[in-house]
Structure 1
Amino acid sequence: MVKNNAVIATVLFALIVTVTSISYTFYQLYQTNRAKHIDSVFSKHSLISQIYHTYLIKQISPPMFEANLALYDLNEITKKEEYEKIIRDGKILKTDGTTDPRSEASTFSEFPLIPLDSHPIITSMIEHRGKMYFWVESSRHTVLLEDRSIQAYSAVNLLSAYGTIMTILIISFTLIIYRLTPLRRLRRQIARFGEGDMGVRFHIKGSDEIALIANELDTTQNKIRSLIESRTLFLRNIMHELKTPIAKGRIVSTMISDEKQKARFEGIFERLESLIGEFALIEEISSGNQYLEKKEYRLVDIIDGAVDLAMVDYESVICDIDTSIKLEVDYRLFVTAVKNLIDNAIKYSPDKKMEITVEGGEILFLNSGEPLKKPLSYYIEPFTKDHPTKDSFGLGLYIVDAILKEHGYVLAYERRDDRNCFIFVPVKPSKRNHK
């Protein structure tokens, strides 16, 4: 599936990588900006510590301490429940102590008088429900101050920038994928054209590269269609024109009184008719325009039809086949392939007999005789043969091979003892099978 959509898969991969990279970059920016904001706010703690230290050593009175807090927009949390809730649930953003101050279980109370220098003042910044607090501790006293002039860090601007960039990226990649969708349609059309559907059209409106390629394919297809139609018309006209004089010749040959000459002319005209028939079959197979009418047939029925078509005695064909074996084939074409092998096997067999059997899904045609002098690939080429005879035109095995390929078989050959063995070997189904 991925191989069939490699371009779109690549675009989607690029989108995922880009989105991931940008998201990670913005996350790092968020962390950095948040840390800078916290550091900037926490810089206020030195002033708070100084005020608090002055208050502890009794250099300023409580009213003056509260006035200083109000001056810097700081409000002391005096309610015990609120104090403990903020300390318990709040998030400590930064502290100038080495450990979490909450681990020492500080409570809302006055501590016994201890020399001030035995415990330094520890200031922690806490965030709770969007508000900022300074928690100041010493050995004598602890206080929680709300800083009303400072809000918790907000990433609205950063999120807006991130959302804008993501929107632009998604729209851009969506447009790219949309522009590439005609490629999938074009691929399907090319596949249909390769399967023999000459009615498919490639034309696409537009002036981009894909449209130009599709329109060039459409022009090429029209030229190919014209060539095929011209070729088909030419061959059909030739065959029609040839059949007329052959028919007249056969009629005239019946008027010859010399039986020897009469038989000779009838043989010539039969050979010409057979040759025209083979040419027509070759044209039908090689053009790729035939539509295989595949149905299930019993193999024994196919062989019976081939024997009738070959006009040989049933005693000449030894058939050892299970009558339940069925094949899904085009009856007319497959019978022709079997008939040609029966013809060859009997023609080149000294005893004029041959055998047909099945082994593991392979159909075997065996006959006694001399082994092939050349590889099988030589004999499946048109107009090739070892022993020219009046009944052979060198097209038999070529037609067999072409028909088998259309049905998902290949023709093979091997020598078994003193017999030749031609084999129909099934392979993967052909992509050019049609209803």
Structure 2
Amino acid sequence: MIKNNAVLATVVFAMAVTVSSVSYTFYQLYENNRAKHIDNIFSKHSLISQIYHTYLVKQISQPIFEANLALYNLDEVLDHHAYEAIVRYGKVLKSDGNTADDLMQDFSLPSSSFDTHVSQQVITSMIEYQGNIYFWVESARHSMLLEDRSIEPYHPVNLISAYGTLMMILLTSFALIIYRLRPLRHLRKQIARFGEGDMGVRFRISGSDEIALIANELDSTQNKIRALIEARTLFLRNIMHELKTPIAKGRIVATMLSDEKQRGRFEGIFERLESLIGEFALIEEIASGNQHHQKSEYRLIDIIDGAIDLAMVEYDAVERNIDASIKVEVDYRLFVTAAKNLIDNAIKYSPEKKMRIWTEEGEIIFANTGEVLKHPLGYYIEPFTKEAPTKDSFGLGLYIVDAILKEHDYILAYERRGEYNCFICVPAKIKRR
């Protein structure tokens, strides 16, 4: 499936990589901006810690401490239940800790003023709860929760808008690419139909893009091919028709000859010409692919019997060892012709004028005794080639056999087995050892 839609798969893969990359980049931007926002807010914690520590060491009174908190929009959370809920369920954004000595260094006050106080840890944590920001300040002696009314949690509205806009552009581009590629699937189906011999198929597509230009060029080429095929078919039919008429007249005239030797010679010549025309017609039918052959199941033994009748040889000359239950799905007329040519070829080149036919693991074997072939099988499959000149052969027999077998998904093979030359019809789906 992927091989048949490689272009679409590539586009989908590229789209997935692009979306993933953009999404990851925006996620990193979100994390970085959020971290900076939190850091900027948390920078306020040092001031809160200093105010809290001065209050702790009794350097400022309660009213002044509350006034300092109000100055920075900080309210102490006094409700016990709210305090517990925020501390327990709030999300800690950041936390830091400083000793009293560290805090004193931030003040330009003499450290001797605080020699009587024990150095202690002050921890400030920034908490987000229900859309509000809180500072939880702790020490060994006291803790308090402050709500910052001037600060809001980080809301990446602009970032989300930019991400959504970019995703919309990418998805729209992807949809446009898929829309533009749709004619390719239709074009592929049309080409497949044309390859199967449907000459009425049309490739033309409206538009001026690259796919439409290719389709229209294919349509123009198809018209030229159709014209060539029609011209060739008309030419061959006319030639065959024109040849058959003088041949028929010649055979009639030959019967009027008083010399039997001359009469037999002329009749043989006209029979050869008729046979040649018939073979040409069969070759044209197979090669053109215009005919839609009707394949059905037939018993192999019936096909062999029909081939023997067509070859006009004696049944005693053909030794058959075929199971009557074996069936093959073929075009009867064509397959009988192929078998006939193999039988005729085997008997013609057999010193005994006999041959054998049998099946073996799905293969159909036509064998005769005689000399081993002087050339590879491919030499004899070519048209107008034969082992030795004879008056009864035009060198088209094996060429026709090979063409018919290919139409039926068979392969013609040759083996020398002892004294036998074996021509084997091998189903293409069988892997030979």
State whether TM-score is above 0.5.
yes
Structure 2 match to 1:212? 213
Structure 1 match to 2:61? 61
- Find the residue that maps to 1:150 and give its secondary structure: coil
- Find the residue that maps to 1:121 and give its secondary structure: strand
Cα shift at 1:51: 1.8
- Find the residue that maps to 2:151 and give its secondary structure: strand
Structure 2 match to 1:138? 139
Paired residues of 1:116 and 1:139 also in contact (CA < 8 A): no
Cα shift at 1:194: 1.9
- Rounded Cα–Cα distance in structure 2 between residues aligned with 1:136 and 1:395: 104
How many pairs are equivalent?
413
Pairing 1:402–2:408 present: no
- Find the residue that maps to 2:136 and give its secondary structure: strand
Deviations 1:174-227 (A, max 9, x none): 111211222222222222222222122111111111111111111011000000
Structure 2 match to 1:9? 9
User: Unaligned stretches of 5+ in structure 2?
Assistant: 99-115
Cα shift at 1:256: 2.3
- Find the residue that maps to 1:400 and give its secondary structure: helix
Structure 1 match to 2:87? 87
- Rounded Cα–Cα distance in structure 2 between residues aligned with 1:58 and 1:394: 122
- Rounded Cα–Cα distance in structure 2 between residues aligned with 1:415 and 1:280: 32
- Rounded Cα–Cα distance in structure 2 between residues aligned with 1:204 and 1:413: 49
Pairing 1:29–2:12 present: no
Structure 1 match to 2:18? 18
- Rounded Cα–Cα distance in structure 2 between residues aligned with 1:173 and 1:238: 57
Question: Which amino acid is the alignment partner of residue 232 of structure 1?
Answer: T
Structure 2 match to 1:106? none
- Rounded Cα–Cα distance in structure 2 between residues aligned with 1:237 and 1:31: 83
- Rounded Cα–Cα distance in structure 2 between residues aligned with 1:71 and 1:121: 21
Cα shift at 1:58: 2.7
Structure 2 match to 1:329? 330
Does the C-alpha gap of structure 1 residues 278 and 288 become closer, same or farther in structure 2, counting only changes over 3 Å? same
Paired residues of 2:91 and 2:128 also in contact (CA < 8 A): yes
- Find the residue that maps to 1:203 and give its secondary structure: coil
User: Unaligned stretches of 5+ in structure 1?
Assistant: 99-114, 430-435
- Rounded Cα–Cα distance in structure 1 between residues aligned with 2:130 and 2:380: 90
Q: TM-score, normalised by structure 2?
A: 0.93
Does the C-alpha gap of structure 1 residues 195 and 117 become closer, same or farther in structure 2, counting only changes over 3 Å? farther
Question: Which amino acid is the alignment partner of residue 343 of structure 1?
Answer: D
Pairing 1:244–2:245 present: yes
Paired residues of 2:97 and 2:121 also in contact (CA < 8 A): no
In the TM superposition, 1:338-353 aligns within 5 A as: 338-353=339-354
Paired residues of 1:118 and 1:139 also in contact (CA < 8 A): no
Structure 2 match to 1:308? 309
Cα shift at 1:271: 1.0
**Percentage identity across paired residues of the two chains:** 76
- Rounded Cα–Cα distance in structure 2 between residues aligned with 1:117 and 1:219: 98
Compare 64-73 and 77-86 and name the one that shifted more. 64-73
- Rounded Cα–Cα distance in structure 2 between residues aligned with 1:117 and 1:190: 92
Structure 1 match to 2:272? 271
Question: Which amino acid is the alignment partner of residue 21 of structure 1?
Answer: S
- Rounded Cα–Cα distance in structure 1 between residues aligned with 2:47 and 2:164: 39
Cα shift at 1:95: 1.2
RMSD: 1.4
Cα shift at 1:386: 1.6
- Rounded Cα–Cα distance in structure 2 between residues aligned with 1:296 and 1:412: 23
- Rounded Cα–Cα distance in structure 1 between residues aligned with 2:399 and 2:69: 105
Compare 170-179 and 226-235 and name the one that shifted more. 170-179
- Find the residue that maps to 2:319 and give its secondary structure: strand
Structure 1 match to 2:204? 203
- Rounded Cα–Cα distance in structure 2 between residues aligned with 1:117 and 1:7: 75
Question: Which amino acid is the alignment partner of residue 120 of structure 1?
Answer: Q
- Rounded Cα–Cα distance in structure 2 between residues aligned with 1:149 and 1:12: 47
Question: Which amino acid is the alignment partner of residue 47 of structure 2?
Answer: L
Cα shift at 1:259: 2.4
Paired residues of 2:338 and 2:405 also in contact (CA < 8 A): yes
Cα shift at 1:116: 5.0
Question: Which amino acid is the alignment partner of residue 175 of structure 2?
Answer: T
Q: TM-score, normalised by structure 1?
A: 0.92
Structure 1 match to 2:46? 46
- Find the residue that maps to 1:218 and give its secondary structure: helix
In the TM superposition, 1:333-412 aligns within 5 A as: 333-412=334-413
Structure 1 match to 2:71? 71
Structure 2 match to 1:417? 418
- Rounded Cα–Cα distance in structure 1 between residues aligned with 2:209 and 2:60: 81
- Rounded Cα–Cα distance in structure 2 between residues aligned with 1:424 and 1:116: 108
- Rounded Cα–Cα distance in structure 1 between residues aligned with 2:178 and 2:302: 54
- Rounded Cα–Cα distance in structure 1 between residues aligned with 2:69 and 2:344: 115
Structure 2 match to 1:104? none
Question: Which amino acid is the alignment partner of residue 143 of structure 2?
Answer: T
Structure 1 match to 2:130? 129
- Find the residue that maps to 1:177 and give its secondary structure: helix
- Rounded Cα–Cα distance in structure 2 between residues aligned with 1:360 and 1:268: 42
Compare 221-230 and 181-190 and name the one that shifted more. 181-190
Question: Which amino acid is the alignment partner of residue 400 of structure 1?
Answer: V
